[in-house]
Amino acid sequence: MEVLAKDLHKTIADDFNKVKIIEEIDRQRGGEAILEIEDLKEDLVINEKRAEKIVKYLEEKEEQETGDQTRIASLVGEIFKLDQRVTQLNEKVQRHENKLTETLNDHERTENELKEIKGALCTGQIAFDFEKDLATYIYPHGKKFGSRTVFTNMTAWLEKKKDTKEGREGNTKWNKLQKEFSWSKEHEKVFLRLLESRRKFAHPQVDRNTVQSQIPDSFTEQEKKCIMDINKMVDRVNELM
């Protein structure tokens, strides 16, 4: 029976270590304070003292009595309950840790998505600026060239106007640039890909029925109303066209 009491005392010590590990895990993961921990630690202290007294009492006695068995049995029951509570607490922390891990993974995915969007917009802007500036440089001064398929329209115009004065001037400028930078079909392919990647994020498909829920909170209520009016006007203009 003395050996059993010592084993129970060791079990309590093990439970203390488990609780410390749980606390450390929760602290490192930035979890909220778990109130059950303090209550559990208090009960562990109480039962630890009980176990120490029983061990000391049994060590000093030459013979063991029936009452000792009752005290040991009571302590066994209490420690069993504490073991269950430690297990439940550990499961709770594990669930919290899993949830936190899932949240961190969501944040990482969002961060990667934002990084992709920023990269596409920044590199795509290079192609966008190049297209507009190139057209301004190649076309005759003052010529309007719109905002879509600028490069494709420009190369088509150069081919169509190659026998005219302005066409020859434009082709001369473009040929010199191509030679200077060793422009190739691969350059053109990458350039068009950059434009497309920018367009994907700069001009997303919009569900006009859900626009209101997507307006940033930085806009005032009055400004949000203006946005919704503009949204309705787009639909109306399309009806009138």
pLDDT of residue 109: 85
**Domain containing 171: what range?**
119-240
Across the chain, how many H-helices and E-strands are there?
8, 0
Mean pLDDT to the nearest integer, 172-198? 90
pLDDT of residue 86: 67
Q: Look up the pTM and report it.
A: 0.50
pLDDT category of residue 56 using cuts at 50, 70 and 90? low
pLDDT of residue 8: 62
pLDDT of residue 160: 94
Q: Which residues contact 139 (CB under 8 A, 6 or more apart)?
A: 145, 154, 157, 170
Mean pLDDT to the nearest integer, 72-90? 68
Q: How far apart are CA 204 and CA 210, in angstroms?
A: 14
Instruction: Decide: 130 and 191 in contact? Cβ < 8 Å.
Output: yes
Structural domains in the chain (count) = 1
Q: In the predicted model, what is the mean pLDDT of the chain?
A: 76
Q: Does the pLDDT value for residue 163 go beyond 60?
A: yes
Residue at 16: amino acid letter = F
pLDDT category of residue 210 using cuts at 50, 70 and 90? confident
**Is 184 part of any domain?**
yes
Q: How far apart are CA 241 and CA 116, in angstroms?
A: 37
pLDDT of residue 156: 94
**Is 86 part of any domain?**
no
**Is 157 part of any domain?**
yes
Q: Which tokens sit at 6?
A: 């010592």
Maximum average pLDDT range among 20-24, 198-202, 213-217: 198-202
**Is 28 part of any domain?**
no
Query: Angle CA(75)–CA(69)–CA(9) in degrees, nearest 5?
Result: 35
